[in-house]
């Protein structure tokens, strides 16, 4: 089987599991306990935090461990919006992950916030001038994802964050899909908050982190024993944090070379599909995109049927965002990019990890060509 759904999740790497093992067994302590078992767990947690901070170029105290990307997004959006005294206005885009969109909707419904959605162009890009125009004196947070999970478009986050800063507006970015491929140095990006998720990086599901700059006020979303400096209560997932740090260390070595090689292989894959599948269109930006993802619409098919045909040929991929699995509604991202509902239902997303290279992608391209031909001939 070829696994082309890395944007949904990836396997836990063996080295990651080995790093975690002691903290699930002998060193199982609670970091809040004042004895040697607890202190050992607290040291492991501090080391993991230092690794995440080093990777992001921030202070360890600016890292809050969470249960994943969804919680990091919730904490950033709700936590900053509710703690910022500027007012009750939020700026975001219509192509954010549900973790952001639903947090924004909650603030609107329950706390009377107003929301401005900055439109994206047909490639999924936010126009910095439109973003600037959306900011107001009462804007409490602006949140724009670094890379989109469905179409892979990478936003000009450094430029957007600089605009937000010049207006005094805290800026958050969801970097869940960008992690492992793009540089996440928070000073270079100029962001005030940034979300990541372990299971997209080779760490387990159930661990993630939010970077939030120390001076940014943050209202906790989960209340309790005051762990994570009061920003996220609950006994810490020590083994998960150790696993996240191990995955970061493994993934950071040679990242840039890997990303460049992946982009070249992706371009060849995209070219093969576009040249041989009639009317196929690549979704997202042609250049400003994640290195290891490509998503298409195949007119005259249904995405679900193409997926089944691909799976019969040993290739596992996705019709849209797996995070919204179970829903057969057209993707909100593709609709925001201007695709009509029918075309949006023909979308198939391929996303892969470092184990998939040019030879595997050539096999996938052949399977795509056959699968689309089969589905189109049945549909007609």
222 makes contact with ligand PLP (CB under 6 A): no
Footprint on residues 173-212 left by ligand PLP (CB under 6 A)? 174, 176-177, 197, 199, 208
Q: Which residues pair with 120 in a beta bridge?
A: 126
Span near ligand PLP by CB under 6 A; candidates 64-72, 136-144, 157-165, 282-290: 64-72
* CA dist., res. 87 & res. 113, Å (int): 8
Between 145 and 330, name the residue whose CB sits nearer to ligand PLP. Answer: 145
Distance of closest approach, residue 153 Cβ to ligand PLP, in angstroms: 12
Q: Are 82 and 228 in contact (CB under 8 A)?
A: no
* CA dist., res. 42 & res. 33, Å (int): 9
Distance of closest approach, residue 30 Cβ to ligand PLP, in angstroms: 24
Which residues are identified as catalytic? 323
323 makes contact with ligand PLP (CB under 6 A): yes
* CA dist., res. 200 & res. 7, Å (int): 7
244 makes contact with ligand PLP (CB under 6 A): no
List the one residue from 62, 73, 236, 309 that touches ligand PLP (CB under 6 A).
Answer: 73
Between 69 and 251, name the residue whose CB sits nearer to ligand PLP. Answer: 69
Q: Are 275 and 240 in contact (CB under 8 A)?
A: no
DSSP string of 239-257? HHHHHHHHHHHHHHTTHHH
Distance of closest approach, residue 73 Cβ to ligand PLP, in angstroms: 6
Tokens 């589905």 belong to: 375
Span near ligand PLP by CB under 6 A; candidates 62-70, 297-305, 352-360, 372-380: 62-70
Distance of closest approach, residue 199 Cβ to ligand PLP, in angstroms: 6
* CA dist., res. 193 & res. 190, Å (int): 9
State how far the alpha carbon of 368 is from the alpha carbons of 67, 296, 322, 358, in Å.
Answer: 35, 11, 19, 15
Span near ligand PLP by CB under 6 A; candidates 57-65, 169-177, 223-231, 340-348: 169-177
In the shown chain, the binding pattern of residues 90 to 129 toward ligand PLP, with x for contact by CB under 6 A and - for none, equals -------x-x------------------------------
149 makes contact with ligand PLP (CB under 6 A): yes
Q: Which of 179, 181, 122, 190 is nearest to 156 (CA)?
A: 190
Distance of closest approach, residue 262 Cβ to ligand PLP, in angstroms: 18
Q: Which residues pair with 143 in a beta bridge?
A: 172
Sheet holding 193-197, edge to edge: 63-66, 208-212, 193-197, 171-174, 139-143, 89-92, 114-117
**Residues near ligand PLP (CB under 6 A), total:** 15
349 makes contact with ligand PLP (CB under 6 A): no
List the one residue from 29, 31, 68, 284 that touches ligand PLP (CB under 6 A).
Answer: 68
DSSP string of 298-349? -TTS-HHHHHHHHHHTTEE-BSS-GGGTT--SPPHHHHHTT--HHHHTTEEE
Between 144 and 277, name the residue whose CB sits nearer to ligand PLP. Answer: 144
- Give residues in contact with ligand PLP (CB under 6 A): 68-70, 73, 97, 99, 145, 149, 174, 176-177, 197, 199, 208, 323
């Amino acid at each position: 089987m070829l696994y082309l759904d890395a944007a949904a999740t990836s396997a836990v790497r063996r080295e990651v599991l080995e790093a975690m093992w002691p903290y699930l067994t002998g060193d199982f302590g609670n970091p809040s306990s004042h004895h040697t078992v607890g202190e050992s767990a607290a040291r492991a947690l501090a080391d993991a935090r230092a690794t995440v901070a080093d990777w992001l170029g921030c202070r360890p105290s600016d890292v809050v461990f969470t249960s994943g990307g969804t919680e990091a997004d919730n904490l950033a959006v709700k936590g900053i919006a509710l703690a910022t005294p500027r007012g009750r206005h939020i700026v975001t885009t219509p192509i954010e992950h549900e973790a952001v969109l639903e947090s924004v909707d909650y603030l609107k419904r329950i706390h009377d916030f107003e929301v401005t959605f900055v439109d994206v162009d047909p490639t999924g890009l936010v126009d910095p001038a439109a973003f600037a125009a959306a900011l107001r004196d009462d804007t409490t947070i602006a949140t724009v994802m670094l890379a989109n999970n469905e179409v892979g478009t990478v936003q000009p986050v450094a430029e957007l964050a600089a605009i937000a800063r010049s207006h005094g507006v805290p800026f958050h970015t969801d970097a869940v899909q960008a992690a492992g491929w793009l540089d996440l140095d928070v000073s270079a990006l100029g962001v005030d908050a940034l979300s990541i998720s372990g299971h997209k990086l080779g760490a387990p599901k159930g661990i993630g982190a939010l970077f939030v700059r120390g001076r940014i006020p943050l209202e906790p979303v989960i209340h309790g024993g005051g762990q994570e400096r009061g920003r996220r209560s609950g006994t810490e997932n020590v083994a998960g944090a150790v696993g996240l740090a191990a995955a970061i260390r493994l993934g950071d070595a040679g990242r840039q070379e890997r990303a460049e090689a992946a982009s070249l292989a992706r371009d060849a894959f995209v070219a093969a599909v576009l040249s041989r599948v009639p009317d196929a269109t690549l979704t997202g930006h042609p250049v400003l995109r994640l290195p290891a993802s490509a998503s298409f619409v195949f007119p005259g098919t249904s995405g679900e049927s193409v997926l089944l045909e691909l799976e019969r040929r040993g290739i596992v991929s996705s019709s849209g965002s797996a995070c919204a699995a179970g829903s057969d509604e057209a993707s909100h991202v593709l609709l925001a990019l201007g695709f009509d509902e029918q075309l949006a239902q023909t979308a198939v997303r391929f996303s892969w990890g470092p184990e998939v290279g040019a030879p595997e992608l050539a096999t996938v391209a052949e399977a795509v060509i056959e699968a689309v031909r089969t589905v189109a001939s049945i549909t007609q």
